Structure 1
């Protein structure tokens, strides 16, 4: 189970993010402990108000718990893991909120604690929490028999195509898989040993090297989108300069965009757009199926919760009726029969709660199995699109590399001869 955490403020923004239904297929506020409010915004507002009596700005500790994609983790397992983490990080008995999310067939949880100890009006120290969480994460992979990510076994072997949220969003705006983007640029870096060979490798993939602000290196794609080279390579700027030099002779971003604009003909742009439109058409059909499935699944869960609520209320009334009142109730207390009935009721209530929990988990697992079939289709579509765009970008790269803007007749002839139009 991957555990990612951060200390933060901005409780209201976090509450909105955690309860977003447009970005998740299913959202459930599972628990609010230690708060007077019955909703997430109110709970985090309480935490913020208490923090005003301290100097703490990051009054929340936010944790995400993400099991492997195919794992079936029960609510109890999530709760036990959260309890273990509380003990390791010194957050036991602190007010907390637990939210479950499901997106693209994957289920994960978020737990947010208030760091403020109301008795001492001090913030809980979160020293070395990343190291402690990594230790817990390794233990969970071993205990459940999950395949452990290489980066978790050895930090030196972490996946080089991991990306930040900003990198993901930037790549998605351009209609590409961010993993492919990083892989492509890192492959160009491995194939080169100086600036000239690196620029050639980049242009083979449809990228251009340029000089960014503050003497940094950036890469532009054929649409003029700018990417930080050190970030894409997961290297320090000093390491990049060690191979490429100071970059003083490189064109600026604006100059490079002008070059790309001169070489990109309407025909080339049309081929790229056609590929994206075909992907969008097919993706829209799958998205429609996803929306219909999500609506049906939400209704099924709501109906199940309604039935369980009715059952719980009926059984609670039945258990309450077993407890005698008046003189008979007094006699039962004297003879000890009252405690026996009460204990029997408590055990029965626990059995009902367990049965309801198991029913909810069975429904969730069945729906996730159904959702996995649709997700497989979408992954296949993404893979085919990535392969298609890769081939197209390589063609665009070769075209841009050899195009000379001064000779427009050769430009048009080469555009026809490359045969870039996608097969349908």
Structure 2
């Protein structure tokens, strides 16, 4: 189970984020412990109010728990994992909130603690919490028999296509998965050892190296979007400059965009747009099916919760009515029979609570299986889109190479090598994109 934690303030922003149904198909507040309020915003307001009596600005500790994609983890197992983290980080007994999220056929959990000890009015120290979380995470993988990620065993084996939230949002705006785009640039970097070779590798994929205003080297896509090279490579700027130089001889971003606009014919642009439109049409049918399934699953959960609430209240009324009153009640209290009956009632209510929890988990597992099957189809579509767009990038790169008369990055006309008879420039005269 991947554990990611952070100290933070801004409790109201966090509450809004955790309860956002736009980004999650199902959201459920599982537990509010140590708070007087019965909703998440009110609970975090309490934590903020207490923190004002201290100098602590980051009065919350937020933890996300993400099990493997194929694992089916019950609420009790999440609670056990949270208990291990709580003990390891010294947060035992601190007020906490637990929220479950479900998205794309997977279920994960968020737990947020108040760091402020109300008795001493001091904040719990969170020294080396990342190292401690990693130890708990490895223990959870071993305890459950899950395959441990290679990156957890060896830092050098971590996924090189990791991306930031800003990169992911930029990719979503462009309709492109940023993971494979980032991987393309990293592959070009690995197969080249100088600026010229790197430019050639990028242009073979329809990408262009340029000089950024304040971000050093950047990569410009064929549609004009700009990506910081050091971020795409997960390297420091000085490491990029060590291989490519300071980039003073590169075109600026505006010059590169103008060059792309001159060389990208309307037919090529139409080809790219039609490819994206084709996948958008196919994805719409799956997205409509996903929306219908989500609405159906939500209705089923609301019905189950209503049934459980009615059953719970009916059981309470039945148990209360069975308690003796008057002189018989006094006698049972004196003789100790009342305490025995109370223990039986508490045991019966605990059994009812467990049955309801099991029924809720069974429904969640069933719905997760249905959603995971649909997600497999969505992932297959995304993979096919990535494959075809990768091939399209190669075609764009070959077309651009033909128009310059050589394989490799294009230079200014004054610096370009004059083509010989029968060279690529002459052969490209017959190259047309027929519709």
Q: TM-score of the superposition, structure 2-length normalised?
A: 0.92
CA offset at residue 410 of structure 1? 8.6
- Deviation by residue 1:34-87 (Cα, 9 ceiling, x = unmatched): 122211111112212222222211111111111111111000111111111111
The CA distance in 2 between the partners of 1:413 and 1:19, in whole Å, is 59
Indicate how the Cα distance of structure 1 residues 38 and 410 shifts in structure 2: closer, same or farther if over 3 A, else same.
Answer: farther
The CA distance in 2 between the partners of 1:87 and 1:221, in whole Å, is 48
> What is the 5 A alignment of 1:206-285?
206-214=206-214, 216-285=216-285
In structure 1, the residue matched to 2:54 is 54
Choose 396-405 or 32-41, whichever is displaced more.
Answer: 396-405
In structure 2, the residue matched to 1:320 is 320
- Unmatched tracts of structure 2, length 5 or more: 405-411, 414-424
In structure 1, the residue matched to 2:289 is 289
> RMSD over aligned Cα, in angstroms?
1.8
1:368 matches 2:385: no
The CA distance in 2 between the partners of 1:30 and 1:68, in whole Å, is 21
In structure 2, the residue matched to 1:179 is 179
Indicate how the Cα distance of structure 1 residues 385 and 352 shifts in structure 2: closer, same or farther if over 3 A, else same.
Answer: same
The CA distance in 2 between the partners of 1:349 and 1:340, in whole Å, is 14
In structure 2, the residue matched to 1:196 is 196
1:81 matches 2:81: yes
Does the CA-based 8 Å contact 1:322-1:341 persist in structure 2? no
CA offset at residue 400 of structure 1? 2.4
1:308 matches 2:325: no
CA offset at residue 323 of structure 1? 2.0
- Deviation by residue 1:7-35 (Cα, 9 ceiling, x = unmatched): 11111111111111111110011111112
1:71 matches 2:71: yes
Q: TM-score of the superposition, structure 1-length normalised?
A: 0.95
In structure 1, the residue matched to 2:340 is 340
- Unmatched tracts of structure 1, length 5 or more: none
1:392 matches 2:392: yes
The CA distance in 2 between the partners of 1:303 and 1:263, in whole Å, is 59
The CA distance in 2 between the partners of 1:409 and 1:121, in whole Å, is 80
In structure 2, the residue matched to 1:414 is 431
- Deviation by residue 1:118-143 (Cα, 9 ceiling, x = unmatched): 22222111111111111111011111
Off by >3 Å, runs of 4+ in structure 1: 408-413
Indicate how the Cα distance of structure 1 residues 402 and 90 shifts in structure 2: closer, same or farther if over 3 A, else same.
Answer: same
The CA distance in 2 between the partners of 1:310 and 1:198, in whole Å, is 67
The CA distance in 2 between the partners of 1:306 and 1:283, in whole Å, is 34
- Deviation by residue 1:176-215 (Cα, 9 ceiling, x = unmatched): 2122012111110110011111110010111111111346
The CA distance in 1 between the partners of 2:400 and 2:54, in whole Å, is 59
- Deviation by residue 1:235-273 (Cα, 9 ceiling, x = unmatched): 111211111122111111111111111111111110000
Matched residue SS, 1:100: strand
Indicate how the Cα distance of structure 1 residues 303 and 201 shifts in structure 2: closer, same or farther if over 3 A, else same.
Answer: same
The CA distance in 2 between the partners of 1:65 and 1:50, in whole Å, is 27
Does the CA-based 8 Å contact 1:64-1:109 persist in structure 2? yes
> What is the 5 A alignment of 1:75-114?
75-114=75-114
In structure 2, the residue matched to 1:125 is 125
Matched residue SS, 1:7: strand
